[in-house]
Amino acid sequence: MTEFIQVVIAGLLQGSVYALVALGFSLVYRVTGVINLSQGAFCVVAALVMYWLEHALGWALLPAGLAAVIATAAFAAVLGALTFVPAFGRLPNSGILMLTIGLLTLIEGVLLIGWGSQPYALPPFSGETPFEVAGLRIPSQGVWIVGAALLVVLALWYLLIRTALGLALRACAENVVAARLMGIGVGRVTLFAFVLAAAIAAVGGVVLAPITSLQFDAGRLFTISGFIAVAIGGLTSMTGAVAGGLLLGIIGQLGAVYVSSLFSDALSLLVLLAVLVFRPNGLFASDRGRADVREAARVVQGTSRLGGRAGWALGAVAAAILLALPLAVPQGGRFSSIVITGIVFIAVLGLDVLMGFAGQVSLGQAGFMAIGGYTAAVLATTYAVPPLLATLSGVVLAVLCALVLSVVTTRLRGLYLALGTLAFGLLVDSLAVGLVDVTGGPSGLVGIPSFAVGGFDFATPLSNYYLVAGLIVVLVVLLAGLMRGGFGRALQAIRTDALAAEALGINVVRYKVAAVAISAALAALSGSLYAFYFHFLSPEMVGTSRSLEMVAMLVVGGEATLVGPLIGVALLTLLPTLFQPLAIYKTFATGLLLVVFFLYMPEGIFGAAVAAVQRIGRLFAPPRLASPAGGVAE
Amino acid sequence: MSGRAPAAPADAGGPPALRIAHLDKRFGGVQATSDVSFEVASGSLTALIGPNGAGKTTLFNLITNLFPPSGGEIVYFGRPLAGLRPSEIAALGLVRTFQTARVFPRMTVLENVLVGAHRHVRAPAALQALWWPSALREDRTLTRRADALLALAGLATYRDIAATALPMGAQKMVEVIRALMAGPRLLLLDEPAAGLNDRETADLAVLLRAIGDNGTTIMVVEHNMALVMGVADHVVVLDAGRVIATGTPAEVQADPRVIEAYLGQEAAA
């Protein structure tokens, strides 16, 4: 019994920090209708700044912690004013969500450049000796953590209920348009919520640093845990955020002690999926959440596609380049990255169908890569199944998993869909780590054979190149046919207005499921090819970072354009290998690229190029846009 | 302005296009419609009028089952609609438009109209993916029909631009064309003239008559009285969730209850 209580106490300590991050989520969500996924990174910013003040400048712990929180808030203010606030009125909520993924990556990049990749730990604020109460040992830092959490909750409560600023925050949460009409500077209030949330996260980071060592990319763990906590509790409920955080902390610790530390994540994720299925608004939410009146006005408006002849011409040029490329690039590391570009592009093609055409946000695409990759690799390696058959088995299994997942995801929209798919990806991730006997665990699966068809082994990079290039050509042609026809039109109709689509006879659920299945199949194919090409597969190659990276590739290239994302994949895969000595800047550059694209070129490189070509074409064609009813409407 | 050729009685002996019996809908404590009963004769153009909040759009939402009725029955050409998904109802040829134009963003005008043809796409997805000749042929046929309809509505020049770039009036027209593309047996139009200028409204009246003469049954919610009285051959008046009058435009206009509920209210305003 004592041990049990001890574990629960540890869970409460961990949970207090989750609760703080979750509070920040809830605060920003209530004011803006968006989850700021960069939230967790501010924990790490504060902790590392505090470490620097303490170690390099020799400050005492408490002033260093205080200064770190202030510095983090200032950093957040600059970041928010330059990115988060301008995004409103420009991007749809799903776009802003993706923007905050970019911010998360950007902050991680900054930390990597400043502090390197090693973990840091601080000494406890008031000594190492734990308190002993009735035979229970409570780490002294625990008092600081719980105290800080209580203080933040009380201060936040006072601010929201008793001050004019709190009133403005709550007004924006209720109705942004009305708040603006009442003279509230919505931009400033949004920024304030963003900074306040970051400061709360910073407090969490500072008090947690002594009992957990943190490195540059620990932020996403806080983001994910805080996100799960707030989803369990209910996005609109502050009480829910705190309760969800504590619950998550306890589940995590109990799972780690009584089940297995390898599966403790899986346990929390199952709880989350159960909540999403049975109480999608969370356990504590009182209402249905915010109504998003602004959503419709902020969809990307253009239609970026090439007409028949231009499309075929571009296709022919691209095919010729594909065929000739191996002649131009010497065999070696760089050529190998080109092959990897192609393999990843296959998965991104699937993501384009799902996200670009059908408008279903997915943050767990790499989960299907993992299912396909591990199934194929294990079958081929352990059971000597021919690679082709092993790959097909992986694809079939991934599609089956996709169908099961659809039961959850087809009921979810927007943010909840993003959350559900993220949870799925993390679940697969933690299974890949946990099932050591099957997958080889964290260190990966080795000795995977080459891909082979009949008697032919695809053993060299060159043969793999032509295999992948051939597959890509076939897949692009098939998908182009599908997307130009009735199937693709139905998907695009669902993307923005499922109700109107349904009223025209489109079975929305069936088309969503079809899109999920196609994307899962392509991701699984990509995952198997990846494993066969590397002769090795580890969870981190097909983990959540990969999922987020693929979303970035899709957006940078251009959603709903099929070939556009190839540009994004190539950029994010090849650039780091071209500038090896600058590898430390890769994370930063990826984040910066994402943020800039979401803000200034949401239609992607390919989309922008097509728009430019169309604009030039219009210069030479008679004007067609002279509207009969007085100009072109907004 | 004269009505259409002598008001078609419930002719042809077949079942009415729509028979609504004792329809009730409560939202919590609010009674949105109560005991609504009327028929829409096959081949007729029926107008549904009534002051704001009378429950007209609610009625459309009940007919297309966007939410289920609390009680009563909706029968479409002799077939009860209870329990069908909205998409299944549309697949039976009962197609509606929405009060605010809902064109699909990031799709061209032509593509928007082609979405309407969804229930006529026969080529399975696999054949579409393979660029199979029969699938391409079908697509060309549908495109020709869409082009013809766009030309009819005077929108042919805009076929390849983003539908959201059009003025609101033209967007509403695209939505009507899109619904027509579905080849409906019964077309429900929710305030098609709202936001249209006089010329566009006149164009719409011409279009509605052409659709009706083609044999399509139409039911239209409309506030524009000139349009209603000009094109409808049957009028149902709704007030506070109840049917207060039915009849020809002339009969309804003379009905004192209608004047009190509808025109009287306008005069008082």
ipTM for the complex shown: 0.89
**Chain A (299-338) residues lying within 8 Å, Cβ to Cβ, of chain B:** 299-303
Between CA A378 and CA A386, with CA A382 as vertex, the angle to 5 degrees is 75
The strand ranges marked E within A165-238 are none
Give the gap in angstroms from C-alpha A560 to the nearest C-alpha of chain B: 10
Contact A505 B87 (CB under 8 A): yes
- What is the Cα–Cα distance from B240 to B245, expressed in whole angstroms? 13
Closest approach of chain A CAs to the CA of B164, in angstroms? 7
For residue A214, what is the DSSP state?
B
Q: Which of A288, A303, A479 to mutate to test the interface with B (most CBs of B within 10 A)?
A: A303
Q: At what angle do helices A461-484 and A508-534 cross, to 10 degrees?
A: 170
By CB atoms closer than 10 A (0-12, 13-18, 19+), residue A454 is exposed
| Cβ <8 Å between B119 and A505 | yes
pLDDT tens readout for residues A496-525? 888 899 999 999 999 999 999 999 999 999
Which stretches in chain A have pLDDT values below 70? 285-308, 621-634
Which member of A300, A502, A629 has the closest CB to residue B86?
A: A502
Short-list B183, B27, B188, CA closest to B116: B183
Give how far the C-alpha of residue B167 lies from the chain's centroid of Cα atoms, to the nearest Å. 21
B115 neighbourhood in chain A, CB within 8 Å: 489-490, 492-493, 501, 504, 506
Q: In whole angstroms, what separates CA A380 from the centre of its chain?
A: 31
The answer, for A624 touching chain B at a CB cutoff of 8 Å, is yes
What tokens appear for B119 in the block?
């229930």
Alpha helices in chain B (DSSP H): 56-63, 86-91, 109-116, 125-129, 133-152, 168-181, 198-213, 225-231, 249-254, 256-258, 264-268
| In contact, A111 and A588? CB cutoff 8 Å | no
Task: Identify which of A253, A255, A278, A250 has the alpha carbon closest to the alpha carbon of residue A266.
Answer: A255
Count CA atoms closer than 13 A to A592's CA, side-chain side: 7
Going from the C-alpha of A357 to that of each of A98, A237, A262, A492, the distances in angstroms are 17, 33, 37, 5
Min distance A509 CA to chain B CA atoms (Å): 10
* Chain B residue with minimum CA distance to A506: B87
Q: What residues of chain B lie within 8 A of the CB of A479, using their CB?
A: 129
Asked whether the predicted pLDDT for residue B254 surpasses 60, the reply is: yes
Collect all residues of chain A within an 8 Å Cβ-Cβ radius of residue B119.
Answer: 504-505
Q: Contact A503/B98, CB-based, under 8 Å?
A: yes
CA distance B90 to chain A (A): 5
Specify the long-range contacts of residues A177-186, CB closer than 8 Å, at least 24 apart.
A177/A293, A186/A88
Structure-block tokens of residue B170 = 């033209």
Which residue among A301, A485, A504 sits closest to B182, beta carbon to beta carbon? A504
Report d(CA A6, CA A12) in Å as an integer: 10
Contact status, residue B36 vs residue B223, Cβ threshold 8 Å:
no
Beta-carbon separation of A490 and B85 below 8 A:
no
Phi-psi region of A234 (alpha: psi -120 to 50; beta: other; left: phi over 0): left
Nearest to B38, CA basis, from B71, B6, B74: B74
Query: Could you give the 3-state DSSP secondary structure of residue A532?
Result: helix
A302: nearest CA partner in chain B: B106
| Residue A503 to residue B123, Cβ atoms within 8 A | no
For residue A75, report the phi and psi dihedrals to the nearest 5 degrees: -60, -45
Nearest-by-Cβ selection for A627 from B117, B129, B167: B167
d(CA A373, CA A369): 6
Confirm or reject contact between A617 and chain B (CB < 8 A).
Answer: no
Position A372 scores a pLDDT of 97
Structure tokens at B116: 């309407």
Is the CB of B95 less than 8 angstroms away from the CB of A503? yes
Query: What's the predicted TM-score (pTM) here?
Result: 0.88
What pLDDT score was predicted for residue A75? 97
Segment 497-526 of chain A within 8 Å of chain B by CB? 497, 499-508, 514
Q: State whether B166 and A493 contact (CB < 8 Å).
A: no
**What single letter denotes the amino acid at residue A511?**
Y
Cα–Cα distance, B151 to B164 (Å, whole number): 19
Residue pointed to by tokens 């380049």: A321
Binned at pLDDT 50, 70 and 90, residue B263 comes out as: low
> A401-420 burial string, b = 16+ CB within 10 Å, else e?
bbeebbebbbebebbbbbbb
* Residues in CB range of A258: below 8 A, 6 or more apart: A7
Q: Count Cβ neighbours within 10 Å for each residue of A51-67 and write b for 16 or more, e otherwise.
A: bbbbeeeebebeebbeb
A333 exposed, middle or buried (CB, 10 Å; 0-12, 13-18, 19+)? exposed
DSSP one-letter code for A347: H
Determine, for residues A490 and B118 on separate chains, whether the beta-carbon distance falls below 8 Å.
yes
Contact between B17 and B222 under an 8 Å Cβ cutoff? The reply is no
The answer for residues whose C-beta is within 8 angstroms of residue B199's C-beta and 6 or more apart is none
Report the chain A residue with the minimal C-alpha distance to residue B116: A504
Q: Which chain A residues are Cβ-neighbours of B204 within 8 angstroms?
A: none
Q: Which of B102, B16, B139 is nearest to A308 (CA)?
A: B139
**B136 to chain A: nearest residue by CA?**
A485
Which of A135 and B249 is assigned the larger pLDDT? B249
Q: How far is CA B141 from the centre of its chain?
A: 25
Mutate to test the interface with A, among B63, B118, B160, B171 (most CBs of A within 10 A): B118
Of A303, A485, A493, the CB nearest to B139: A485
pLDDT at B7: 41
